[in-house]
Chain A
Amino acid sequence: MSKKILALLLGLVAVLAAVILLKRNKPSTDHITIGILQTASFPPLDESKQGFISEIKKELGDKVIIIEQNAQGSMTQAQAIASSFKANKSISGFYAIATPAVQALKSEIKTRPIAFAAVTDPIGLHLREEGLNITGATDKADIEKQISILKILLPNVKKVALLYNPGETNSVILVKQMKIALEKYGITYQDNGANSQADVAAAAQHAVQNAQAVLIPTDNTIASAFPIVRQIADKANIPVITTWTGESEGPLMQFGVNYENSGVQAAQLMKKMLVDGIKPMDLPIVAPTSSIIISKKALEKYGLEIPDSLKDSVSLM
């Protein structure tokens, strides 16, 4: 039996060696190879990737070779990819999309530069400590601004329902800020948690029954099940405010980070690190640009008007 194990092991190792030798060309001086590790396939993350790739190609031209990997939501897979990246000496810089990807890369890559996007709380994640090789673009929306617009748009709202998945770090951080901002404007709030897509309908139902508006942070779970939230809110005549953009209709206000632009920002940081030789810690983290989209249909439905003070900063849809 042990012969079989040995044969199997050796066979697989030989395959691995062959693949590595064939796939990895020698690090060439006139090319720059960049490894991309994406946490999972979600529209905002895909946009960050597209933004990065098109910008880095514009900056570096044909010199750039891109190796794309996606962990499909598995942390062990992210770790395995990071360790494969570490071994590939031809890669000179890494682009991490979303929190688990940058954490996996951080644990493996100690010397080569890492740029991230779609990470909400880089300081809390210890990504910016002395001697580290990481910088990037956050996707922390300007909640203060969002709530102030909410107050102007819906001056009569007394209570807001917060709808989110308590298992998503980004949501938890944003909800904390939302609560602080809401308190400042004298608006009360109520939590509605949905741990999975299956629970979203029930949580949304509860939300619309208990408040005059529904506020949703950047939450992958709610975003993926958004059509059901829209249906429930429409029936109950309760306006919805999302902290992401890209919904065609439904939300009264979509307030979000422009993820494609985040990718562009990360690509510019990457170029500064690789081409201009600036140390990652000397490059401050870039804050995202926010885009505010207000639905004409929803304005009519709820009999609202945009005050003049807001007209310049929002786009109508």
Chain B
Amino acid sequence: MLSFLPVVVGILERGFIGAFIVMAIYLASRVMKFDDFSIEGTFGLGGAVVAWSLLHNTNPWLALLLGCIAGGISGCITGLLHTKLGLNKLIAGIVVTTMLFSVSINIGGANVALGNAPTVFSALHNSSFASLILLASMALAVAFIFIWYMKTESGFILKSTGINEQFVTSLGKSVPLYITLSLIMANALSALAGGIFVQYSGFFSAFGNVGILIAALAGCMIAELIAINMFIMALFGSIIYQLIIAITIELQVEPSWQKLITGLLIVVILVVKKLENKKIKGSVAA
């Protein structure tokens, strides 16, 4: 059993980091009904900003904050492209992600190692559980902030914007403002995840964000399958996704099939959901 525990710790750590992106996807795709591709780009941007900051002797927590701000600005640009220039949602995200690649490379470089620069984890190297506890508390704290925010007036209007824009307009609130706001928050979250991942793994790569979106989407769909409160479920969804990936690694599945497995996982979740819906409808009818 000794070899089992570190695997689980690793799964939980990566699960908590992934949870921020799952929350970002949930906020953009589900709450705002805005499928934002730029979330993949801001993961890289956040990492690049954090890597640059750490190599310039910035406090690691401040570096994360800077990463978040950079992600927020990027989200704001995606929002403005859509609301002000009328660019299609998907295209706006793709345009921004494309631009972010250049921005990230110029900030962080194609691949840099942090070396001995202090990170939020470097003080905790003595205990194997300290990093996990730190990540868990960060993920929980962010989840609770969002749970609280959704109950405020601003959060309520934000939710309403995704459901019924006309209703929000009739309240005299600006729909573009709330769309942009949700994208700022989603992309700040993704950049935060990117920044944490860089500090966790000790290096930044311009290609580090490849496949983030699909992993987070799978996490988000698993979360919806078991939903009570989505922000808490984001943690579980992300962890369960990492669990499944860990199983495929342990099974030594031929790695070239792994992307197919992620895709199939999403299809399976959709099928399960469809079946559940039928069951509920069936019982109501009876």
Of A98-106, A282-290, A294-302, the segment with at least 4 beta carbons within 8 Å of chain B is A98-106
A24 within 8 A of B: yes
Checking B4, B115, B239, B251 against A87 with a beta-carbon cut-off of 8 angstroms, the contacting residue is B4
Tell me the complex Cα distance, A24–B110, Å: 37
Chain A neighbourhood of B2, CB < 8 A: 89
> In the complex where A107-B202, A167-B207 touch, is A19 in contact with B250 (Cβ < 8 A)?
yes
Tell me the complex Cα distance, A169–B208, Å: 13
Nearest chain A CB to B37 CB, angstrom units: 15
Say whether B10 contacts A8, CB under 8 Å. Answer: no
Q: How many A-B residue pairs have CB under 8 A?
A: 152
Nearest chain B CB to A167 CB, angstrom units: 5
Say whether A72 contacts B256, CB under 8 Å. Answer: yes
From A73, which residue of chain B is reached at the shortest CB distance?
B210
A-B contacts besides A86-B6, A86-B10, 15 pairs, CB < 8 Å: A9-B240, A19-B250, A20-B4, A20-B250, A41-B256, A76-B197, A79-B200, A83-B10, A83-B14, A103-B111, A103-B202, A103-B203, A107-B200, A126-B113, A126-B115
Nearest chain A CB to B273 CB, angstrom units: 13
Nearest chain B CB to A122 CB, angstrom units: 10
Checking B197, B206, B226 against A4 with a beta-carbon cut-off of 8 angstroms, the contacting residue is B226
Tell me the complex Cα distance, A41–B256, Å: 9
Nearest chain A CB to B215 CB, angstrom units: 7
Nearest chain B CB to A222 CB, angstrom units: 14
What are 17 sample pairs from A and B whose C-beta atoms fall under 8 A apart?
Answer: A4-B226, A8-B226, A8-B240, A9-B243, A12-B244, A23-B251, A24-B3, A76-B14, A76-B18, A83-B11, A88-B3, A89-B3, A107-B201, A108-B10, A125-B113, A166-B105, A195-B101
> In the complex where A16-B7, A86-B10 touch, is A75 in contact with B210 (Cβ < 8 A)?
yes
Interface residues of A (CB under 8 A from B): 1-2, 4-5, 8-9, 12-13, 15-17, 19-21, 23-24, 41, 67-77, 79-81, 83-84, 86-89, 99-100, 103-104, 106-108, 124-127, 129, 166-169, 171-172, 195
Chain B neighbourhood of A171, CB < 8 A: 110
From A27, which residue of chain B is reached at the shortest CB distance?
B3
Q: In B224-250, which residues have CB < 8 Å from any A CB?
A: 226-228, 236, 239-240, 242-247, 249-250
B212 within 8 A of A: yes
B102 within 8 A of A: yes
Main secondary structure of the interface of A (DSSP, over half): helix
Tell me the complex Cα distance, A67–B210, Å: 25
Tell me the complex Cα distance, A12–B265, Å: 14
Say whether B7 contacts A87, CB under 8 Å. Answer: yes
Tell me the complex Cα distance, A84–B113, Å: 22
Say whether A9 contacts B250, CB under 8 Å. Answer: no
Instruction: Give me the 8 closest cross-chain CB pairs, A-B, nearest first.
Output: A83-B10, A70-B255, A87-B6, A169-B111, A126-B115, A75-B208, A169-B110, A103-B203
Say whether A16 contacts B207, CB under 8 Å. Answer: no
From B2, which residue of chain A is reached at the shortest CB distance?
A89
Chain A neighbourhood of B200, CB < 8 A: 79, 107
> In the complex where A77-B245, A167-B105, A167-B207 touch, is A19 in contact with B251 (Cβ < 8 A)?
yes
B205 within 8 A of A: yes
Main secondary structure of the interface of B (DSSP, over half): helix
Nearest chain B CB to A199 CB, angstrom units: 11
Tell me the complex Cα distance, A16–B249, Å: 10
Say whether A17 contacts B101, CB under 8 Å. Answer: no
* Interface residues contributed by chain B, number (CB under 8 Å): 55
Checking A4, A84, A99 against B7 with a beta-carbon cut-off of 8 angstroms, the contacting residue is A84
Chain B neighbourhood of A89, CB < 8 A: 2-3
Nearest chain A CB to B142 CB, angstrom units: 19
Say whether B3 contacts A76, CB under 8 Å. Answer: no
> In the complex where A1-B228, A76-B14 touch, is A84 in contact with B201 (Cβ < 8 A)?
no
Tell me the complex Cα distance, A7–B10, Å: 21
B258 within 8 A of A: yes
B126 within 8 A of A: no
Checking A4, A13, A68, A103 against B201 with a beta-carbon cut-off of 8 angstroms, the contacting residue is A103
From B211, which residue of chain A is reached at the shortest CB distance?
A74
Say whether B226 contacts A77, CB under 8 Å. Answer: no
> In the complex where A77-B211, A80-B245, A84-B249 touch, is A17 in contact with B4 (Cβ < 8 A)?
yes
Of B102, B201, B226, B236, most A-chain CB atoms within 10 Å:
B201
B252 within 8 A of A: yes
From A122, which residue of chain B is reached at the shortest CB distance?
B113
Of A15, A127, A171, most B-chain CB atoms within 10 Å:
A15
Q: Mark B1-29, 1 if CB is under 8 A from A, else 0.
A: 01111111011011000100000000000
Tell me the complex Cα distance, A41–B258, Å: 13
Checking B113, B197, B227, B246 against A16 with a beta-carbon cut-off of 8 angstroms, the contacting residue is B246
Of B5, B252, B256, most A-chain CB atoms within 10 Å:
B252
Say whether A83 contacts B6, CB under 8 Å. Answer: yes
Tell me the complex Cα distance, A5–B225, Å: 9
From B198, which residue of chain A is reached at the shortest CB distance?
A75
B259 within 8 A of A: yes
From B212, which residue of chain A is reached at the shortest CB distance?
A76
Checking A5, A74, A84, A166 against B110 with a beta-carbon cut-off of 8 angstroms, the contacting residue is A166
B109 within 8 A of A: yes
Nearest chain A CB to B279 CB, angstrom units: 13
Chain A neighbourhood of B236, CB < 8 A: 5, 9
